[in-house]
Structure 1
Amino acid sequence: MDDYASSDEDYHYDSDQEDSVEAYENDENYALLSSKGPTTKVITKESLLAAQKEDLRRVMDMLSVREQHARTLLIFHRWDVENLFEVYVDKGKSFLFAEAGVSVDEHRDSDSPVPPDFMCNICMDEVPSSKTTRMDCGHCFCNGCWIEHFIVKINEGQSKRIRCMEHKCNSICDEAVVRTLLSREHSHMAEKYERFLLESYIEDNKRVKWCPSTPHCGNAIRVEDDELCEVECSCGVQFCFSCLSEAHSPCSCLMWELWAKKCRDESETVNWITVHTKPCPKCHKPVEKNGGCNLVSCICGQAFCWLCGGATGREHTWSSIAGHSCGRYKEQEKTAERAKRDLYRYMHYHNRYKAHTDSFKIESKLKETIQGKISISEEKDSTLRDYSWVNNGLSRLFRSRRVLSYSYAFAFYMFGDELFKDEMTDAQREIKQNLFEDQQQQLEANVEKLSKILEEPFETFSDDKVVEIRMQILNLSTIIDKLCQKM
C-alpha cells in the first residue's frame, strides 16, 4: 500500500517545482493515462445523415453501385464497411449481391416492354402499362399492389428490407421506386419510410448506439475500435456500449445485471426471514424468536421447539421441553446456516457498495461549488489563470469513486460460488482475492485523499499554496488512474 498511497510529506513544495508543473501535465505517461479509452464520436441529429452518407459513399465508390444498392448491402452487413469489403474480396461481387438481395439493372434492358394492357398477377386485374412498375429483378406488378405491399411492410417494421412480391424472389425493392410511389398519395408513409432508412444507420449498426439518456438527448455514439467499452455522450451520460446500462467497470455486463437485480428485488428480504425466523408447524407462518428460551409460541397458539421446529406442548423448563428431544441433525439447520452465511456476505459487500455510491452522489454536488471557487480565483490579481487541473481532478474523482463502488459488486461474484466456483481452486481464489482487496484498499485510500483535497478552499490560498495543491491533485490523479486500470 505504501507504494501507492503517499504521505503528506510526499507533496512538499518548493519554488523549483513551479516551472515543472506544466511539464508534468504534458508528461507522456500522464497524457497516456488521461486519454486512454476507446475512440468514439458523438452523432447528433444534424450529423446523422452526413455520417450515413460517408459510409454509403465508400461502398458506392468501391463497387460502382447506386446509393440504394449500397444501402441495401450495408443494412445486410449491419453497416460494417470492412466486413462488406472482406466478403467482396473473398467471395466476389456476384455472391455479395445475391446474398444481400441486390439485383443489377440488366433486367430492365433485356426484358421486353410491358404490354399496353397488363394483367397483374397479384390482383389479377388488367391495368394500362403506365400504371405498372418493374423492379430491378425484372418482376412487374400494378402500382396499386406495390403501394399496398409497401404500406404493409412499413407498418410491420420491415421498411429497411422490402422484398419483391414475386414468390421466392429474394430481391430488395428499389428505394427510389418506393419513395416515388408512396409520395403520390401517401406522403406520411413516405416520410416514415425515409425516417426508418435514416435510423437504420443506428438501429442496425453494431458500432453505433443511441445514448440511453432520459429524457433522450437525441445523440448516438459511434465507437471505432473496441465495442466492449464504456463511453460518454456529450450530454454527460456515461454508459456501457455493450449492454447500454450505466458504466459499471470493473464488473462484466453479466455481473452488473445480476447485482442490479439482487439489489432491486426482495430476495435478500427472503434471506433475512430464512435466517431469523422459523415456520410454525401448524400455520406455517414465520415466527421470530424474541427471548432466550427455546420454546416459542405462534400467534395461532401452537408451541414448538426453536432448535428443530417440531410441535411441542407448553410445559418446559429453561433446559428442556417436557416430552421432547431434538438432538438429531436436521437438514433445515444446514440450509439456515448457509442462508445466514450468504446473507452476511452479501451485506458486507452491499454496505460498502452503497457507502461509495452515496459518497458519489454527495461529491456530484461539488462541481457547482468548485466552479464558484474557480470564478473567484480567476478574478484575483494572480499569476495563475489556468484552473483546468481542478476540473480534471474532479473528473478523476467521479470516475474512480464509481469504479471503487462497483469493485465490491465485482468482488462479490468474482470470489463467490455463483459464477466462478469451478474456475479456480480455493487456494487460487484466496490469493487472487487478497491481491484484489489490497489494490482496492489502495484505491480507496487515494480516492478519499483526492476528495479531501478538492474540498479545500483554494480560492483563499496564496499562489504558492495553490501550486502545491495542483501538484498534489496531479500526483493523485496519476496514481488513481493506474489503480483503476488494474481493477
Structure 2
Amino acid sequence: MDSDDDIQLNDSDSDGESEEKGTQILSFADLETKMKDAISEIQDILEVKPGVCRILLQKHKWDKNSLLERFYEHPDTNEFLKAANVIPEDSETFPELPVPTDCDICCMPGELTGLACGHLACIDCWRAYISDRINDGKCEVECMTGECMLLMEDEKVNFYITDPIILEKRRQLIVNSYVEINKCLRWCPGKNCGKIIKAAHSEPHLVQCSCGTQFCFFCGNDGHEPVSCRLLKLWEKKCLDDSETANWISVHTKDCPKCLAPIEKISGCNRMLCRNPSCKFQFCWMCMRDWDVHGYSPCNSYDPKKEKDRVKNRANLDRYLFYYNRYKGHGDTVETKMEVLQHHSQISWADVQYLPKAVETLSTCRRTMMNTYIFAFYLEHNNHAEMFEANQRDLEMATEQLSGFLEQDLLTQSGQEKMKTLIQNVQDKCRYVEHRRKILMDHVVEGTEQDVWVFREE
C-alpha cells in the first residue's frame, strides 16, 4: 500500500489518536469507507463493476498507483482483465440465462445460472458452493468448475447468497484481508474489541487501544519490553516445547540398553527391570550392562563423556528453571486486583480513587520484571550483563516493596494518621519504582544502540 494512500480519516470517523504519536484507532466502518473510496476511484478509470475493482485492488495489495501502472502498461483492457481472472478467457456467446435443464452437479431438473465463463449450475448448488468457500475463510470465490479460474465478483456473490450470517462473514473476511496486507494496520487483540490500530510504522513498539488493551504492534503479543519479539518467540517455544521435558528425562532417567525406553530409578537397588512389556530387560543402573553378565559383582566403571553430558544437561535445566520460575512468579501476579480495597473500612473512597494509578504502576513493573528474566536468560554474561542484572535487582526490590504496601500494609493498617503516612509511602514508592524502571529501560536501549548485548540463542 503506497504511503500516499494511507488511511486519512477525520476525528469524527475514528476514535482518534492513541498515546503513541502517529497512531490512530479505527473502526470496522472506517476501513470499509476507505475501501469503498478506493474502489470508486478505480471504477471511474476502468469502468468496470465495483466488485471487479475490489478484486483488482486486492491483487495489487490495495496500492492504487501499482494497479493503474499495470493497467496502463496493457494496450488492451480486456487482456488486462483476463490476466486478473475477472473476465473469461473465451469470449464466445452463451445462451441467455437462466437455462431450464438438469443440473450437472446435483442432477436435479431446474433453471440453471452461472458466470460469464458459461459454466452452469442450479442456484442451490451455487449457493452451497459459495457458502462452503466463505466458511473455509476464503473471501475470493472461483468458478465451481475446477479447470476454470474465473473469479466471482461481489455482485454475483451477493446475488446467490441471501443468508445474512454468511454475508457478514464474507464482509469481515474482506476487511481482514485489507488489514493483513497493510503492515501498518493491526487488529486490537482485546476481548470483543474489533478496533484496528493504524501505526506510523511497523517496527516493534507498544500501542494502546481505546479499550485499554496494550500490545506490541509488531508481534501482537502483550507488551514485552525489554525483550525483543524474536527472543520472546524463542522463549515461548522453549516453554511449550517438549525439549524441556526431554531435558528432565535426560537428567533424571536413563534409557533401557535394549529397547531405549526411559527408566527412572526410584529405589536404592542398582538392579533395574525395564517395564516395557515387550522387553523386560534387566541391567545395572550404574554401568548399563546386562544383569545376567553383571550380577552382583562390584561396578566401578566410569564413562567420562556420558557423565559430562549428564552434568551439562543438569546445569542447563537448573538454569532454565531459575529464570522460568522468576518469569512465572511475576507473571502470576501481573494482574493484581484491588477491588477488595473498596470494602475495607479504614480506606476512604478518595484513597481508593488514587490507588488505580499505583496498581497500574505495580502491574507495569511486574510485567517488565517478568520480561527481564527472558532477556537475562538469553544474555551472555559480561560486564554489561552485570550492570543489567544490578538494575534488574534494584527494580525488583522496589517493586516488591510497592507490592507490600498495596497488598499487605494497606489492608492491615488502622487509624487516619497511619493511613495517611502509608498513602504517602505508596506515592513515593510509585515514583521511585517508575524511576528505576526508566533507568533499566534506558540502559537496554543504550546497549541496543551501541550493540553491546550478546545473546545465546539456544
Verify same fold: TM over 0.5: yes
Distance 1:356 1:304 in 2: 44
User: What residue identity is the alignment partner of 2:84?
Assistant: G
1:368 to 334, 339, 343: 339
Deviation at 1:486, TM superposition (A): 4.8
Q: Secondary structure at the match of 2:179?
A: coil
Q: List alignment gaps of at least 5 residues for structure 2.
A: 1-17, 105-110, 275-280, 445-458
Query: How does 1:16-415 map onto structure 2 within 5 Å?
Result: 35-36=19-20, 39-41=23-25, 43=27, 48-61=28-41, 64=44, 67-78=50-61, 81=62, 84-88=63-67, 91=70, 98=81, 101=84, 144=121, 148-149=125-126, 151-157=128-134, 160-163=139-142, 172-180=151-159, 182=160, 187-188=162-163, 191-206=165-180, 208-209=185-186, 212=189, 217=192, 219-227=194-202, 228-231=204-207, 238-264=214-240, 267-279=243-255, 286-288=263-265, 296-298=270-272, 304=284, 306=286, 308-310=287-289, 312-315=294-297, 321=298, 326=301, 329-360=303-334, 364-365=336-337, 367-370=338-341, 377-378=348-349, 387=353, 390-415=355-380
Deviation at 1:401, TM superposition (A): 0.9
Cα pair 1:42 1:234 within 8 Å, conserved: no
Deviation at 1:451, TM superposition (A): 2.6
What CA deviation, in whole Å up to 9, does each residue of 1:277-311 have, x standing for no partner? Answer: 445657876353866xxx833357957363x4445
Deviation at 1:255, TM superposition (A): 3.6
What CA deviation, in whole Å up to 9, does each residue of 1:222-260 have, x standing for no partner? Answer: 332344445555565555555555544444445444433
The structure with the largest alpha-carbon Rg is 1
Cα pair 1:75 1:200 within 8 Å, conserved: no
Change (3 A) 1:314 1:159: closer
Distance 1:163 1:357 in 2: 47
What CA deviation, in whole Å up to 9, does each residue of 1:380-421 have, x standing for no partner? Answer: 9xxxxx955x42332232122112112222332344xxxxxx
Change (3 A) 1:288 1:346: same
Larger RCO (CA under 8 A, 6+ residues apart): 1
Distance 2:331 2:95 in 1: 74
CA RMSD, Structure 1 to Structure 2 (Å)? 4.9
Equivalent in the alignment of 1:15 = none
Sequence identity percentage: 25
Cα pair 1:38 1:224 within 8 Å, conserved: yes
Change (3 A) 1:377 1:101: farther
1:439 to 380, 384, 391: 391
TM-score (norm 2): 0.65
TM-score (norm 1): 0.62
Equivalenced residues, count: 391
Distance 1:170 1:406 in 2: 49
Cα pair 1:443 1:480 within 8 Å, conserved: yes
Cα pair 1:356 1:404 within 8 Å, conserved: yes
User: What residue identity is the alignment partner of 1:288?
Assistant: K
What CA deviation, in whole Å up to 9, does each residue of 1:19-72 have, x standing for no partner? Answer: xxxxxxxxxxxxxxx9458825264xxxx2343123322452476366434432
Cα pair 2:361 2:430 within 8 Å, conserved: no
Deviation at 1:201, TM superposition (A): 0.7
Deviation at 1:265, TM superposition (A): 5.5
Change (3 A) 1:468 1:152: same
Q: Which moved more, 1:396-405 or 1:229-238?
A: 229-238
Q: Secondary structure at the match of 1:396?
A: helix
Distance 2:142 2:420 in 1: 71
Cα pair 1:159 1:197 within 8 Å, conserved: no
Cα pair 2:206 2:215 within 8 Å, conserved: yes
User: What residue identity is the alignment partner of 1:402?
Assistant: R
Q: List alignment gaps of at least 5 residues for structure 1.
A: 1-33, 125-129, 316-320, 381-385, 416-428
Distance 1:411 1:37 in 2: 30
User: What residue identity is the alignment partner of 1:369?
Assistant: V
